[in-house]
Structures are given as C-alpha cells and as structure tokens.
C-alpha cells in the first residue's frame, strides 16, 4: 500500500526545524539555512544543483532514499513561498526556479486556492484548500501507486503526525544550535506513542533517525 | 582554571531529559528510566553497580570522562530526592544507598537548608540555600583545584546555562521517544549563543555532542 513518507527533515541539536524570525530573506529563520548544509555536501544534493562531486556514504544514501518511489509531494504553503493571505495575482512560482527538483505533482496546502502552475520537467503545483486529508487523497491518486512525500515545514508535518497519517519519518539531527525557532516535537499530544525508532545511525556530521508507525494493534 | 562540567546529560530524540508525570515511583517520569540504559551498558556503568562486563568504546569513554578530575558535584534538590518543601525530619539520604558513587562533596540546591549528611566512601551532602552562584563558589572551594560536575535535573542545568556558568556540556541523545516531559533546551533566552559544538560523535545507540563555552570576545 502506498505510504506517506517524510525524508531529510533536519533538526538542530536543540530541536528546531527552522530558526527564529522567519522572513522572505531568511525563509528558514535566523541561522536556519545551515541546517541543510549536509544535504548539499552529498553527491545527490550536488547533482540536484547541477554540480559535480559530493559525498557518497550514509548521508547520500538517505538523500537518495527521499527521491525513490515517490509519485507526488505535499508541502505547506510557507514551504512553497513567502506570500501570505490571498495570492492577489502574485506571480510567485516557488523557490526552485523554472525546473523544480520534484518532477511530479506537488500539492500545496493553502486556505487560498488558485489554478495549478505547470513548471518545466514535470512539476505541477496544485493548491488544495480542503485540508490535510483531502490533500493526501489527491496526492495518493496523482502518485499512481507510488508513495507520497511530505515536505515541510514543521507545522505541516506536525499536523499529519497528529492525525496519524505519516507512515515513515526520517530525521536528521545536525551539530547546529539555533537557540529558538520552530520545533517539530511540540504539541503532538499522544501521537508520538504510535511511532517507534527503527534506525539510528550517527556520523560525525549528522545523526539519522528513522521513525515508523507501529503496526495497528 | 577549574571548570563547571556537565556529563552524560541524556535527552530523548524528541528533546526531553525526563518524561512526563515525575513521581516518587518514577523520578524520571513516565518512560524516563530508559534514557540511561546506555550508561549501564558501559563497563564504567557496570563497575558503578558492582557488576562485571560492559562495553568499552565511545560510550564508555564518555562515561569515564564524567568521573575524571572532578572534586565536587552540584545537583538540584529533585535529583537528590523526592521530598518537597521542608525536610520535616526526613531521613532521606539520596537515591544511592550508604556508599554513593560520588566520593566527594555534593552540593544540593534547596530553599530549605539542613545539616550536612556524611555518607560512606567520602560523599558528603551539603544543602545550599544561597542560590546557584553561592553553591558554585562552595563547590569550587571544596573541589580543591579540580573541576566541579553539575548533575541535573534539566531545570538546574538550565539555570546555570542561563547564567553563563557552564563551561562544558556533554549531551547524549538516545533512540527513545518520550512524547513529553522536561526539556533541556527551553527558556534559555540568548544563553545558547555563548556555546559551540566541539564534538559530535554518533554510534548506533547514542549520539554524543560536546558543547563548550565560546571564548569571551
């Protein structure tokens, strides 16, 4: 059965998925950009940027896993862009240029629907205002039997965790201290009791932890 | 110059140093005991319990580091015992039996002073009601040129961090999800900006991160 998977969700050592004071200039908040440095040191990450080289090994394996057997992506509106409220004719087409690295349908959660935006390379941004379950249903349908990847940000992942809809969650903890910002592990109620840690692999630069939903009793 | 050091302070993957609902029966809260399983798997941890065997390697090295060149310990009252408020003639002498594993003076932060308690093996519990700086001064004085170890719990460590008095902080992150409880990285204000991560070493069971105070500008 197709699954909803989170990959490469990166936390600072003090538990933040984004730093304080998120803004257009710093969409991941103060200091938040450094969370993802590890991704751009991997071979897969460099390929995504059209650059040569990069590390192979466990970090790269995790990067690649996030690209494998995924037929659609869901993300929160703040991950799509900095525009808030009504789109008001905004020409915003995402952070990723004309040919975004998805190459499949992407469902953006929003309270303000607008027509889909078709990009180069197979990525189409759809704007869904029916809630997280409706978005998931549309994404599974669009994925054609493949899995769906859940992007961020933290609040979007928390919503799906609280609803018990995430099947797998790969976390990367990096040696960064942000001192504040947006937590992933917050306001989850009892949802976390439904998950177990099935892999825990450290390197000198990243701790990888793989969470999976426990089998239903 | 003697330093104030925190060792083996263990956090769940979701960031808690103790689970929810701390009580006399579960002083580390629901599920909190499992945080420290890794310590009791090391050779040093087993020696402390008078048991043979145990792992050598990085986890054991970190355990041993916490025993090295320490002349006194500071801990919060909740780490010393479950008695709250006035001692009222309580015969409580700590969680550790007649011969506690400190073998040096231990300064317990409290609002309710009582006479020192002398244990076997060199441990003497002193009860300090003059605040964290007074306790630190007494501990440095008692340590006779060695370092002072800061135990827990989380709120005690946070107080010393906020005051900028911690020199080194070794954290262990373990593959446990507690879902709630007491955080270490909370309400620290800007204090964390004074610290950097100087070591980050993962194994399959523990991520070790060593924080150190940045040199004064």
Cβ neighbours of B177 in A, within 8 Å = 192-193, 195-197, 211
Let me know if residue B91 belongs to a domain.
no
CA of B148, closest CA in chain A: separation in Å?
Answer: 24
Residue-level pLDDT at A79:
92
Of all residues in chain B, the one with the smallest CA distance to A191 is B179
Copy the structure tokens of residue B206.
Answer: 């523990």
CATH of the domain at A40: 3.40.430.10
Write down the mean pLDDT value for chain B: 94
Smallest Cβ distance to A201: which of B171, B195, B204? B204
The beta-carbon neighbor of A195 closest among B171, B177, B211 is B177
The pair phi, psi for residue B41, each rounded to 5°, is -90, -15
Q: Does A187 touch chain B (CB under 8 A)?
A: no
Work out the average pLDDT over B74-103.
91
- A73: domain range? 4-18+27-84+98-213
User: A157: phi > 0 → left, psi -120 to 50 → alpha, else beta; which?
Assistant: alpha
**Residue A197 near chain B (CB below 8 Å):** yes
Q: Assess if residue A73 is contained within a domain.
A: yes
Coil vs helix vs strand at B213? strand
| Total residue length of chain A | 217
pTM of the full structure? 0.94
Q: How far is B91 from chain A (nearest CA, A)?
A: 38
**Which value, to the nearest 10 degrees, does the dihedral of the CA atoms of residues A128, A134, A139, A142 take?**
-90
In a domain, A40, yes or no: yes
Q: What is the pLDDT of residues B3-44, one digit of tens each?
A: 999 999 999 999 999 998 888 888 888 999 999 999 999 999
Note the pLDDT of residue B64: 95
B90 touches chain A (CB under 8 A): no
| B85 contacts B110 by C-beta, under 8 angstroms | no
Contact A125, A117 (CB under 8 A): yes
CA A158 to chain centroid: 11
Q: Which residue has the tokens 């200091």?
A: A31
Confidence (pLDDT) at B53: 96
Place of tokens 């929810």: B20
**Hey, is the C-beta of B154 within 8 angstroms of any chain A C-beta?**
no
Per DSSP, the three-state class of A125 is: strand
Residue A44 in any domain: the answer is: yes
In a domain, B79, yes or no: yes
Residue A179 near residue A196, CB atoms below 8 Å:
no
pLDDT at A26: 85
Q: How far apart are CA B95 and CA B112, in angstroms?
A: 19
Cβ pair B202:A202 closer than 8 A? yes
**Minimal CA separation from A88 to chain B, in Å:** 38
Q: Minimal Cα–Cα distance from B103 to chain A, Å?
A: 33
Smallest CA–CA separation between A39 and chain B, in Å? 17
Asked if the bond preceding A153 is cis, omega within 30° of 0, the reply is: yes
Question: Is the CB of B15 less than 8 angstroms away from the CB of A183?
Answer: yes
Number of compact structural domains in chain B: 1
Selecting from B14, B191, B205 the residue whose C-beta is nearest the C-beta of A192 gives B14
CB B209 within 8 A of CB B170: yes
Nearest to A41 by CA among A53, A30, A54: A54
At which residue do the structure tokens 């809809």 appear? A165
Strand partners, B106: B73, B125
**For residues B57-70, average pLDDT:** 95
Angle between helices A132-143 and A154-162 (to 10 degrees): 90
| Terminal alpha carbon distance of chain B | 18
Over the stretch A5-38, which tens digit does the pLDDT of each residue have? 999 999 999 999 999 888 888 888 899 999 999 9
Helices of type H across chain B: 37-40, 43-48, 58-65, 77-80, 132-143, 154-162
Q: How far is CA A73 from CA A82, A123, A128, B213, in A?
A: 19, 10, 12, 41
Residue B168: what pLDDT? 97
A185 Cα to chain B: minimum distance (Å): 6
Whether residues B197 and A185 touch (CB distance < 8 A) is answered with no
Q: Which residues contact A54 (CB under 8 A, 6 or more apart)?
A: A41, A42, A43, A44, A45, A46, A47, A60
> Is B171 within 8 Å of A202 when comparing Cβ atoms?
no
Token pair of A54 as six digits: 């990069």
Two structure tokens written together for B31? 């599920």
Higher pLDDT, A83 or B168: B168
A93 in a domain, yes or no?
Answer: no
Whether chain A has a CB inside 8 Å of the CB on B207: the answer is yes
Q: Does A209 touch chain B (CB under 8 A)?
A: yes
Position B112 in a domain: yes
Over residues B157-172, mean pLDDT: 97
Q: What does the pLDDT read at residue A216?
A: 73
pLDDT of amino acid B12: 97
Binning pLDDT at 50, 70 and 90, where does residue B217 land?
A: low
Residues of A in contact with B185 (CB under 8 A): 14-15
Dihedral angle of Cα B177, A208, A173, A140, to the nearest 10 degrees: -80
Closest Cα in chain A, distance from residue B49 (Å): 27
Residue A91 falls inside a structural domain: no
Strand partners, B109: B76, B128
pLDDT in tens, chain A (217 residues): 999 999 999 999 999 999 988 888 888 889 999 999 999 999 999 998 899 999 999 999 999 999 999 999 999 998 998 888 888 888 899 999 999 999 999 999 999 999 999 999 999 999 999 999 999 999 999 999 999 999 989 999 999 999 999 999 999 999 999 999 999 999 998 999 999 999 999 888 999 999 999 987 6
Q: pLDDT tens across B181-205, in order?
A: 999 999 998 999 999 999 999 888 9
Residue-level pLDDT at A217:
60
Asked if the C-beta of B35 comes within 8 angstroms of chain A's C-beta atoms, the answer is: no
Per-residue pLDDT at B6: 98
CB contact under 8 A, B195 and A183: no
Backbone angles phi, psi at B133, to 5 degrees: -75, -40
Which of B157, B161, B173, B175 best probes binding to A when mutated, by most A CB atoms within 10 angstroms? B175
């Amino acid at each position: 059965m197709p699954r909803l998977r989170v990959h490469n969700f990166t936390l600072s050592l003090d538990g933040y998925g984004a730093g304080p004071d998120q803004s257009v200039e710093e969409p991941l908040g103060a200091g938040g950009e450094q969370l993802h440095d590890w991704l751009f040191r991997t071979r897969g990450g460099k390929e995504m940027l059209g650059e040569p080289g990069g590390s192979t090994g466990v970090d790269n394996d995790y990067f690649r896993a996030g690209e494998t057997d995924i037929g659609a992506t869901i993300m929160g509106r703040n991950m799509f862009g900095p525009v808030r409220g009504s789109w008001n004719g905004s020409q915003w087409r995402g952070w990723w240029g004309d040919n975004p690295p998805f190459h499949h349908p992407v469902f953006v959660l929003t309270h303000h629907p607008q027509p889909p935006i078709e990009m180069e390379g197979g990525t189409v941004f759809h704007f869904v205002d029916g809630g997280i379950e409706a978005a998931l249903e549309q994404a599974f349908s669009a994925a054609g039997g493949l899995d769906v990847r859940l992007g961020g940000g933290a609040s979007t992942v928390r919503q799906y965790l609280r609803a018990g809809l995430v099947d797998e969650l790969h976390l990367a903890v990096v040696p960064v201290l942000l001192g504040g910002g947006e937590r992933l592990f917050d306001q989850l109620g009892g949802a976390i009791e439904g998950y177990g840690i099935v892999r825990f692999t450290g390197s000198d630069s990243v701790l990888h932890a793989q969470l999976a939903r426990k089998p239903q009793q």
